[in-house]
Amino acid sequence: MKRLIYIVLAFFYLASANNESYKELSTKDISLLVNIVVSSSPEILDFQSDYKTKLSLKLTPAEVAEVKRRIQIYNKVSKKKIKKYLENGKLYIPLIKQIFDQYNLPDDLIFLPIIESHFNIKAKSPAGAGGLWQFMPQTGRMYGLEINKWIDERFDVEKSTIAAALYLRDLYLIFDDWFLALASYNIGEGNIIRRINKYGGTNFWDINSYLPRETRNYVPNFIATVSVVKNILKEEDFNYSTLNFDIVKINKPVSLELVSVLLKLPYETLIKLNPHLLKEKTPPKEGIYNIYVPRGYGKTLAFVLEEMQTEKYKAIGEYKVQKGDTLIKIAKKFNTTVSYLKKINNLDKGWIIANTYIKVPTYIEAFPLYSDEVIDLTEDILYTEKGIIYRVKKGDTLAKIAKKFGVSIKSLKRWNKIKNYILPNQKLVIYKKVFNKNLSQKFVKRNISYLKKKVKKRKPKYRYIFYKVKKGDTLLKIAKRFKVSVSQIKKWNKLSSNIIRIGDKITIIKRVVN
So what's the pLDDT on residue 32? 38
Taking the CB of residue 495, how many other CB atoms lie within 10 A of it? 16
Active-site residue (options: 63, 66, 87, 116): 116
Distance between CA 122 and CA 277 in Å, rounded?
12
Distance between CA 489 and CA 502 in Å, rounded?
16
So what's the pLDDT on residue 18? 39
So what's the pLDDT on residue 417? 86
Reduced to 3 states (helix: H, G, I; strand: E, B; else coil), residue 157 is helix
Q: What is the DSSP string of 356-370?
A: BEEEEEEEEEE-TTS
So what's the pLDDT on residue 340? 93
Check if 214 is active-site. no
Using alpha carbons, select from 393, 466, 406, 471 the residue that is nearest to residue 434: 406
Angle between helices 298-307 and 2-10 (to 10 degrees): 120
pTM of the model: 0.79
So what's the pLDDT on residue 238? 65
Using alpha carbons, select from 288, 232, 296 the residue that is nearest to residue 27: 232
- Cβ burial of 189 (10 Å; 0-12, 13-18, 19+) is buried
User: Are the CB atoms for 206 and 200 separated by under 8 Å?
Assistant: yes
φ, ψ for residue 465 (rounded to 5)? Answer: -115, 130
Distance between CA 220 and CA 206 in Å, rounded?
14
Q: What is the DSSP string of 296-322?
A: T-HHHHHHHHHHPPPEEEEEEEEEEPP
Distance between CA 9 and CA 367 in Å, rounded?
14
Instruction: Fill in the amino acid letter for 118.
Output: H
Report all structural domains of the chain as residue ranges with CATH numbers, in order of start: 27-235 (1.10.530.10), 247-307 (no CATH), 311-437 (3.10.350.10), 462-511 (3.10.350.10)
CA atoms within 13 A on the CB side of 236: 10
CA 30 vs CA 14, 228, 230, 445: distances in Å = 40, 10, 7, 30
The pairing of beta strand 311-320 with beta strand 375-376: parallel
Spell out the per-residue pLDDT of the chain, length 514, in tens. Answer: 555 455 444 444 433 333 333 333 333 333 333 333 323 223 223 333 333 555 555 566 777 777 788 888 887 778 888 989 988 998 999 999 999 999 999 989 999 999 999 999 999 999 999 999 999 998 998 899 999 999 999 999 999 999 999 999 999 999 999 999 999 999 999 999 999 999 998 889 889 889 999 999 999 999 889 888 877 877 776 666 778 999 999 999 999 999 999 999 999 999 999 999 999 999 999 899 999 999 999 999 999 999 999 999 999 998 988 999 899 999 999 999 999 998 988 887 778 888 888 899 999 999 999 999 999 998 888 777 667 888 888 888 899 888 888 888 888 888 888 888 888 888 888 886 554 434 433 445 677 888 888 888 888 888 888 889 999 889 899 889 988 989 888 888 999 888 889 999 988 888 876 5
The pairing of beta strand 311-320 with beta strand 357-366: antiparallel
CA 412 vs CA 41, 81, 398, 416, 423: distances in Å = 58, 49, 7, 6, 14
